[in-house]
Amino acid sequence: MSEKLKKVEKEPMFSSKVLKLLKNPFNLENPITVQVLGICSALAVTVQMKPAIVMALSVTIVTAFSNLIISSLRNTIPSRIRIIVQLVVVAALVIIVDQILKAYVYDVSKKLSVFVGLIITNCILMGRLEAYAMGNKPWPSFVDGFGNGLGYGLILVIVAFFRESLGSGKILGAKIIPQFMYDIGYMDNGLMILPPMALITIGIIIWVQRSKTPELQEK
Amino acid sequence: MKFLRDFLDKQKPQFGKGGRFEKLHSTFDAFETFLFVPNKTTSSGAHIRDAIDLKRTMSFVILAMMPALLFGVWNVGYQHFLSLGQSPGFWPMVYYGLGKVLPIIAVSYIAGLGAEFVFAQIRGHEVNEGYLVSGMLIPLVMPVDIPLWMVAVACIFAVVIGKETFGGTGMNVFNPALLARAFVFFAYPAKITGDTIWIGGLSKPEGVVDAFSGATPLSNAAAGAMEKIPDFYDLFFGFIPGSIGETSKFAILLGAIVLVVTGIGSWRIIVSSLLGGVSMSLIFNLFAANEYMKIDPMTQIMMGSFLFGTVFMATDPVTASQTTRGKWIYGFLIGFFAIMIRVFNPAYPEGTMLAILLMNAFAPLIDFYVVEANIKKRLKRALTGVKPLKQN
């Protein structure tokens, strides 16, 4: 028994198993396109790239560290009150992130408004805590949270890229469509700024992803 | 016709298995079946065949749209020269109208069919004929001065997102032509709302008669300028600015007759939409809280694309309710909501489009409850028949 435990402890920090935790959320287990979690914030904060990137980073940090903390506590949490404990940890982390955003990137924090606070209720967080952190060691849990946060962020940034470039002709606030295009009659697509188009964009991403990865196709 | 058949037969092997143009076989197939009724026999499933297949059905709808289209072409020219204060006679107006309308139709077909052909090729199925109608409907619901690239983008959006993602013709939830219009409406509002876009050339005002307004009856009504609404005669025959095909109610009614007589469009939907529109206007008349609410039902129905929508869009057999009772409910609510949106929200003067799209989404639900109700009724009848037997 004790030998077995030792063997596990000797596992290298970036073993193939851990790397998989980092890699899978980008494609096969993407939180948004495959698990269909965290859709609401993906629709709300993707009008422009900058808030989307900040949101992606915030969620990544919160998922990674909440996974780490809950995983370290997992053997001491009574299972009947585990949701409350998880929420307390997540809420504390979200408040820290929120305060940092307010202190250093106030304009973005204003744009994200309520959605930073709503990270607490983001389904990805609770999903990862329940599904992974409660049953695994701190380091893999941390990597799992980090990977899922990045997988979520990736979709957010892709959606925001299309919405900002087609909807307002900018990327990260810089004009990418030259003036002469507007002079000959090009117009920004107003629908891209409205939430329905975010949903359609995510739908198209799912479509492309499924047609590229045979594992995801339902027979 | 014989030589056409011979020509097709000669080309056929090239598109077959192993032929030079094997990859384009669905394209060939589309043209062949468009020109000739296919002579293939059904190998499995139902063997009942009607003489009028999907392609022939679509041709009849196109035929039904012709009066509205032809009048629209003339009206585009008429309105243009009216805004310049000229009256050059019949043919110059038609030529001007053709110059404006034909490019829109061409772009609509090229963009939409292009998307369809690409999909058919990738998916390996036949090219669906549904776009024949959508491609003609889209130009009819656009303003004349719409930039052509917007038409193209809207058509591709309607075909790809509105139809192909749901599985192609016959599977779509929303009417593709209306989806194209809704796309332009929300994406490029500056080009499809306002007062200057309905008449060719008015957005670049050179030589326009003083104080000439290109406002449609609807936008006049929304602005509260009730005295500017044209009289019944103008509204009915369509000497007013508006989308290309919607202005003449007379031409639309001719189309409606074709649709109803051939049995393609459901008269129940048309009649119930009118009933819905009339009853909503009457309810508004009852309250009469503002000038818009006081407009009589007849004018409400004659204004805007209410009639065009109910005749050509609401009756689309794919997106409408399928059950008889469902059709009455579906149509009634379209008319009801169309007038309601129009009056309550001046930002969306054209309520008909939104009302039909909304009811498209609800049509399957209406059908579901109609069928459920029928099952319940029959069960009840069956069970009451059983009960006395049990007592014996």
> Is residue B186 located within the same domain as residue B296?
no
Q: Return the structure tokens found at A175.
A: 């004009």
CB-CB: which of A191, A203, A207 is closest to B183? A191
DSSP B120-166: HHHHTSPPPTTHHHHHHHHHHTS-TT--HHHHHHHHHHIIIIIIGGG
Question: Best residue in A163, A182, A191, A206 to probe B by mutation, most B CBs within 10 Å?
Answer: A191
Chain B contact for A203 (CB, 8 A cutoff): yes
> Is residue B214 located within the same domain as residue B326?
no
In a domain, B279, yes or no: yes
Looking at per-residue confidence, does A76 or B224 come out higher?
A: A76
Confidence of residue B380 (pLDDT cuts 50, 70, 90): confident
How many angstroms separate the Cα of B291 from the Cα of each of A20, B116, B277, B343?
A: 67, 46, 17, 10
- Determine phi and psi for B384, rounding to 5 degrees: -65, -30
> Is residue B32 located within the same domain as residue B132?
yes
- Complex confidence, ipTM: 0.81
How many angstroms separate the Cα of B266 from the Cα of each of B165, B272, B310?
A: 27, 10, 10
How many angstroms separate the Cα of B50 from the Cα of each of B57, B115, B229, B258?
A: 11, 29, 47, 19
Nearest CA in chain B to A168: B187
Size of interface A-B (CB pairs under 8 A): 22
DSSP B252-265: HHHHHHHHHHHTSS
Q: A14: which residues sit within 8 A by CB, 6+ positions away?
A: none
Confidence of residue A150 (pLDDT cuts 50, 70, 90): very high
CB-CB: which of B149, B165, B186 is closest to A190? B186
> In the listed set B248, B278, B312, which residue is the last one of a domain according to the structure?
B248
> Is residue B342 located within the same domain as residue B289?
yes
Percentage of chain B beyond pLDDT 90 is: 35
Across all residues in chain A, what is the average pLDDT?
86
CA of A189 to nearest chain B CA: how many angstroms apart? 5
CB-CB: which of B147, B165, B187 is closest to A190? B187
Closest CA to B230 of B216, B250, B211: B216
Do B187 and A207 lie within an 8 Å CB cutoff? no
Across all residues in chain B, what is the average pLDDT?
83
Q: Is the pLDDT of residue A37 over 60?
A: yes
Do B186 and A191 lie within an 8 Å CB cutoff? yes
CB-based contact B102:B142 (threshold 8 Å): no
The pLDDT score that the predictor gives to residue B5 is 76
> Is residue B153 located within the same domain as residue B239?
yes
> Is residue B225 located within the same domain as residue B304?
no
CA of B362 to nearest chain A CA: how many angstroms apart? 18
pLDDT tens-digit readout, B228-270:
778 888 888 888 888 888 889 999 999 999 999 988 888 999 9
Q: Is the pLDDT of residue B40 over 70?
A: no
The pLDDT score that the predictor gives to residue A41 is 81
Q: Which of residues 153-192 of A touch B (CB under 8 A)?
A: 185-187, 189-192
pLDDT tens-digit readout, A155-186:
999 999 999 999 888 888 888 888 888 888 88
**Structural domain of B114:** 11-36+54-248
Q: Is the pLDDT of residue B130 over 80?
A: no
Q: B377: which residues sit within 8 A by CB, 6+ positions away?
A: none
CB-based contact B244:B104 (threshold 8 Å): yes
Q: Which residues pair with A171 in a beta bridge?
A: A174
Taking CB atoms and an 8 Å cutoff, what residues of chain B touch A187? 147, 150, 188, 190-191
- Determine phi and psi for A174, rounding to 5 degrees: -100, 135
Nearest CA in chain B to A207: B165
Can you tell me the mean pLDDT for B379-392?
66
> Is residue B228 located within the same domain as residue B289?
no
Do B186 and A207 lie within an 8 Å CB cutoff? no
Q: Is the pLDDT of residue B345 over 60?
A: yes
> Is residue B136 located within the same domain as residue B180?
yes
Q: What is the pTM of this model?
A: 0.84
Can you tell me the mean pLDDT for B343-352?
81
Do A187 and B165 lie within an 8 Å CB cutoff? no
Can you tell me the mean pLDDT for B92-100?
89
Q: A20: which residues sit within 8 A by CB, 6+ positions away?
A: none
pLDDT tens-digit readout, B48-76:
666 666 777 888 888 899 999 999 999 98
pLDDT tens-digit readout, A86-134:
999 999 999 999 999 999 988 888 888 788 888 888 888 888 888 888 8
> Is residue B228 located within the same domain as residue B279?
no
Q: B202: which residues sit within 8 A by CB, 6+ positions away?
A: B80, B83, B145, B196, B208, B214
Averaging pLDDT over each range in A113-127, B11-25, B98-112, which range is the top one?
Answer: B98-112
Closest CA to B159 of B201, B212, B109: B109
Q: Return the structure tokens found at A36.
A: 């269909």
Taking CB atoms and an 8 Å cutoff, what residues of chain B touch A200? 161
The pLDDT score that the predictor gives to residue B155 is 94
> Is residue B236 located within the same domain as residue B340?
no
Chain A contact for B232 (CB, 8 A cutoff): no
Q: Is the pLDDT of residue A66 over 60?
A: yes
Confidence of residue A1 (pLDDT cuts 50, 70, 90): very low
Question: What is the tally of structural domains in chain B?
Answer: 2
Chain A contact for B86 (CB, 8 A cutoff): no
In a domain, B295, yes or no: yes
Please report the beta strands in chain B, taking only residues with DSSP state E, as ranges in sequence order.
Answer: none
Closest CA to A142 of A40, A18, A1: A18
In a domain, B45, yes or no: no
Taking CB atoms and an 8 Å cutoff, what residues of chain A touch B161? 200
DSSP chain A: -HHHHHHHHTS-TT-HHHHHHHHGGGTTT-TTTTS--SHHHHHHS-SSHHHHHHHHHHHHHHHHHHHHHHHHHTTTS-GGGHHHHHHHHHHHHHHHHHHHHHHH-HHHHHHHTHHHHGGGG-HHHHHHHHHTGGGS-HHHHHHHHHHHHHHHHHHHHHHHHHHHHHHHSEETTEE-S-HHHHHTT----GGGGSHHHHHHHHHHHHHHHHHH-GGG---
Percentage of chain A beyond pLDDT 90 is: 35
Looking at per-residue confidence, does B218 or A201 come out higher?
A: A201
Chain B contact for A19 (CB, 8 A cutoff): no
CA of A215 to nearest chain B CA: how many angstroms apart? 19
CB-based contact B148:B104 (threshold 8 Å): yes
Helix (H) or strand (E) holding B324: helix B324-344
Chain A contact for B151 (CB, 8 A cutoff): no
Cα(A136)–Cα(A144) distance, integer angstroms: 10
Helix/strand/coil percent split, chain B, to 5: 70, 0, 30
Can you tell me the mean pLDDT for B168-180?
87
Q: Domain boundaries in chain A? A: 38-160
A 10 A CB-CB count for B244 gives 27
CB-CB: which of A187, A194, A200 is closest to B161? A200
How many angstroms separate the Cα of A63 from the Cα of each of A132, A147, A156, B148, B222?
A: 11, 9, 16, 48, 51
In a domain, B256, yes or no: no
Chain A contact for B190 (CB, 8 A cutoff): yes
Residue B391, CB-side half-sphere exposure with 13 Å CA sphere: 5
CB-CB: which of A186, A190, A203 is closest to B189? A190
